[in-house]
Amino acid sequence: MFLIFFVLYALVSCKGSDEKHTNKKIQSFSSKRSTIQVDESVYAIEKRDVLGDIKLSLDIRLKNKISEKQLRQLALALKGKEHNKYERIFIFWYLPGMEIDAGAWATTHFKPNLEVRILGVTIEEEKELTASDEKRKGFVIGKWFDNSIIGGKYTLMNNNGTITMYIDFADGSNLEEEMIESSQSNLLRYDDKDENDHREYYIINSNGELAVYGRSGLSRTLQILQ
């Protein structure tokens, strides 16, 4: 009788030991999966605001546009690098030429669960816009791309002395504005002939980029489309 009891006890003990060992392996595996390796050269933190353990806000500049999946990976990696545990983490992503606090290209907020939102033009939308070649008369002065929330492709053309800015938006809509060309600080400036409500005007800067100005000054800088 004692021998039977001993054998049963040994079997139960071994089973419990195996379960503990298995659970330990799973936890370790899960921990390794949550450790995400990212290339830190693709972004730069430009602004950091902390409110105790309640909130962390980050303004980050990306070198180039990335996918939603890559945004998620970067957000998780940044959260994992923080030594403190914050109730909320707000991460705002900007692309080259975009002004900080003037509207982010994307956000990845932990509230507390991660929410990824691309507010501007996505990689797929940009490819579709840049691939399209509208049949418009005249020669092209320049082409630029706006990555803001109201982003799209900007094409400035001259047709027998008539200068027009064509704006093609990601939603398929477009806008045409006849422009007046002038010179400002040895740079070319373009104003809407009919004067728009926002009093926006454009200047092609020394790098060939399109600087967009409004009532409060420079609002954003559009990158050149090759």
Q: How far is CA 179 from CA 17, 187, 195, 225, in A?
A: 79, 15, 9, 20
pLDDT over 90 (residue 142): yes
The tokens for 1 are 């009788």
Same domain for 132 and 206, yes or no, is yes
Same domain for 91 and 160, yes or no, is no
Residue 89: inside a domain: yes
Taking only the tens place, the pLDDT of each residue in 163-206 is: 999 999 988 899 999 999 999 999 999 999 887 666 789 999 99
Q: How far is CA 26 from CA 22, 31, 32, 126, in A?
A: 6, 8, 10, 41
Same domain for 135 and 202, yes or no, is yes
Domain count, the chain: 2
The tokens for 169 are 């938006």
Other CB atoms closer than 10 Å to residue 52's CB: what's the count?
Answer: 9
Q: Which of 57, 90, 118 is the last residue of a domain?
A: 118
Higher pLDDT, residue 102 or 57: 57
DSSP bridge partners of 183: 188
Taking only the tens place, the pLDDT of each residue in 2-56 is: 334 333 344 334 334 343 333 322 222 222 334 555 667 889 999 999 999 999 9
Residue 8: inside a domain: no
| Pairing outcome for strands 210-214 and 217-224 | antiparallel
How far apart are alpha carbons 130 and 83 in whole angstroms?
42
Is 95 buried (19+), middle (13-18) or exposed (0-12) by CB count in 10 A? buried
Residue 2: inside a domain: no
Place of tokens 């609002």: 219
Name the pTM for this structure: 0.71
**Share of residues in the chain with pLDDT > 70 (%):** 80
Domain holding 79, by residue range, is 40-118
CATH number of the domain to which 199 belongs: 2.40.128
Taking only the tens place, the pLDDT of each residue in 74-96 is: 999 999 999 999 999 999 999 98
What Rg do the C-alpha atoms of the chain give, in angstroms?
27
Is 143 buried (19+), middle (13-18) or exposed (0-12) by CB count in 10 A? middle
Q: Which of 88, 118, 148 is the last residue of a domain?
A: 118
